[in-house]
Amino acid sequence: MRTSSIIEWQEDGITLKEDETGRSDSSSSRGEVYVVGIGPGDLEHLSIKAFQIIKDVDVVAGYNTYIDLVDELISKEQEVISTGMTKEIDRVEMALEAAQKGNRVAIVSSGDAGVYGMAGLVLETVDKKDLELEVEIIPGITAANAAASTLGAPLMHDYAVISLSDLLTPWKVIVDRLKRAAGGDFVVVLYNPKSKQRQQQIVKAREIFLQHKEPATPVGIVRSAKRGSEEMVITDLENMLDEEIGMVTTVIIGNSETFSFADSMVTPRGYEV
């Protein structure tokens, strides 16, 4: 018999109380899969529902780093399925096998699980294998939203999110999307801007933006957004490559109306101030 959890607010944070009625694993929890967005990483930016589900399921599955981020929520009674980078398919298949055995399974994903996360792969696998499983997607704070809140209000108007990783998307497709977003005067959020293996994508992206935007266009660079080691700088398109940029960095490039002051970056919505 497994007892369910109830959220209770206290002055020092969120705690859980056990439901006195309890719940049977073999009946109400059979075939349940939750794809959980855990946000940027710090637990204070985890949604209440995500917090409760991770605490309450039988199995938690995820990429090694993401498991580490929620480790303090996982008890020794829970099974953990943890794999490294590029093992997403294996991880999903193991998690779904656990769910088919009657377990309640949480598949964790950083940010929002439906934004460059695991939600699509889970649903595709369930559909392809015709599995009789209930799947629920639990939203989380994206890297774009986390970085934007640190910078101020750069996403107040239309914006595009583009990943510079060509691991799963051909580079020529990414280049075409960069050109269209830059030409449309969108605010643009760049995910996965640079890694040890990918040094030139961010250079090419900047070249494309300079063809459509002024060199003085504000650029916000946030490293490890909303984690304990967060770092932020506001620069411009001309000088952005002078700053440290890596895989845990989110880059936000403004539109023609974006401006910066003090430690804030703002894209006007159009209100008369």
C-alpha span between 89 and 95 (Å, rounded): 10
The fold of the 5-138 domain, in CATH, is Cobalt-precorrin-4 Transmethylase; domain 1 (3.40.1010)
Q: Distance of alpha carbon 246 from its chain centroid, rounded? A: 16
Based on its alpha-carbon atoms, the radius of gyration of the chain, rounded to whole angstroms, reads: 21
The CATH H-level superfamily of 143-266 is Tetrapyrrole methylase, C-terminal domain (3.30.950.10)
At 273 the pLDDT is 78
Q: Which ranges constitute the DSSP H helices of the chain?
A: 25-28, 48-56, 64-69, 88-100, 119-128, 143-151, 171-183, 201-210
C-alpha span between 273 and 73 (Å, rounded): 45
C-alpha span between 128 and 92 (Å, rounded): 13
Instruction: Give the pLDDT of the chain (273 residues) as one tens digit per residue.
Output: 333 444 444 444 555 544 443 333 433 446 799 999 999 988 999 999 999 999 999 999 999 999 999 999 999 999 999 998 889 999 999 999 999 999 999 999 999 999 999 999 999 999 999 999 999 999 999 999 999 999 999 999 999 999 999 999 999 999 999 999 999 999 999 999 998 889 899 999 999 999 999 999 999 999 999 988 899 999 999 999 999 999 899 999 999 999 999 999 999 998 877
Contact 202/193 with Cβ under 8 angstroms?
Answer: yes
Instruction: Name the residue ranges covered by the structural domains of the chain.
Output: 5-138, 143-266
Single-letter code of the amino acid located at 23: R
End-to-end CA distance of the chain: 59
Strand-pair partners of 198: none
Burial 29-64 (b: 16+ CB within 10 A, else e): bbbbbbbbbbbbbbbebbbeebbbbbbbbbbbbbbe
Residue showing tokens 């430690």: 263
Contact 81/93 with Cβ under 8 angstroms?
Answer: no
Strands 104-109, 59-63: pairing is parallel
C-alpha span between 177 and 5 (Å, rounded): 45
Residue showing tokens 């940029």: 245
Supply the pTM of this predicted model: 0.86
Contact 223/246 with Cβ under 8 angstroms?
Answer: yes
- The dihedral through the CA atoms of 48, 49, 52, 53 has a sign that is negative
Q: Which of helix, strand or coil describes residue 5?
A: strand
Please name which of 100, 118, 103, 112 lies closest in space to residue 63, comparing C-alpha atoms.
118
